[in-house]
């Protein structure tokens, strides 16, 4: 009988601690994970040098940030300015991989300049607020003979 009473007392204490822990967790406010993160956008191309008209070129790069939420599965926009034009025009959009990598395949017929842009994001559900600041790559020139 004493052994059964000891077990009952042990289970009662365990149950009391569990109930107390649950009640305590409900009264403590959740820790918010708010952040504002800068981003950096790189741009490269393969192959290098002068292309033949219609030759395939891979314009690629990476969206970099401290928080994965700011570089994973984000939209990257490609802009082009043909030789003789005064302004850049939006020509394509792609999505980054989980590591922030992106690529565009183009077949330019004339020389042009290109850059990529990340427009930034403002996401999260209260109490978490995630701000990823916008960024722009440098401009690259792709000569076509």
Task: Note whether 88 and 81 are within 8 A (CB).
Answer: yes
Question: Residue 101 is encoded by which pair of tokens?
Answer: 């990598």
Q: How confident is the model at residue 2 (pLDDT cuts 50, 70, 90)?
A: low
Query: What number of H helices and E strands is found in the chain?
Result: 1, 12
Note the pLDDT tens digit of each residue in 10-59: 767 666 666 655 554 554 444 558 889 999 999 999 999 999 999 999 99
- Worst-scoring range by mean pLDDT, 20-24, 105-109, 125-129? 20-24
3 pLDDT above the threshold of 50: yes
Residue with more model confidence, 56 or 9: 56
> Reduced to 3 states, what is the DSSP secondary structure of residue 59?
strand
| All residues at 6 or more sequence positions from 58 whose CB lies less than 8 Å from its CB, including other chains | 45, 46, 103, 104, 105
Tell me the C-alpha distance between 145 and 143, whole Å: 7
95 pLDDT above the threshold of 80: yes
Given this model, what pLDDT does residue 28 score?
43
Characterize 25-54 residue by residue with b for buried, 16 or more Cβ atoms within 10 angstroms of its Cβ, and e for exposed: eeeeeeeeeeeebebbbbbebeeeeebeee
| All residues at 6 or more sequence positions from 143 whose CB lies less than 8 Å from its CB, including other chains | 49, 50, 51, 111
Residue with more model confidence, 14 or 138: 138
Given this model, what pLDDT does residue 79 score?
98
* Beta strand 57-64 pairing with 44-46: antiparallel
Given this model, what pLDDT does residue 84 score?
87
Q: How confident is the model at residue 118 (pLDDT cuts 50, 70, 90)?
A: very high
Given this model, what pLDDT does residue 128 score?
83
């Amino acid at each position: 009988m004493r052994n059964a009473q000891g077990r009952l007392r042990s289970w009662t204490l365990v149950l009391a601690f569990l109930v107390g822990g649950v009640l305590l967790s409900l009264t403590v406010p959740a820790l918010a994970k708010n952040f504002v993160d800068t981003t950096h956008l790189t741009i490269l191309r393969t192959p290098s040098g002068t292309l033949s008209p219609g030759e395939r070129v891979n314009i690629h790069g990476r969206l970099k940030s401290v928080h994965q939420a700011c570089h994973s599965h984000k939209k990257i926009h490609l802009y082009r300015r043909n030789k003789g034009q005064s302004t850049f025009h939006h020509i394509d959009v792609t999505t980054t991989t989980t590591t922030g990598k992106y690529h565009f395949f183009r077949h330019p017929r004339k020389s042009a300049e290109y850059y990529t842009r990340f427009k930034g994001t403002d996401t999260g559900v209260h109490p978490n607020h995630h701000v990823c600041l916008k960024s722009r790559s440098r401009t690259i020139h792709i000569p076509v003979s």
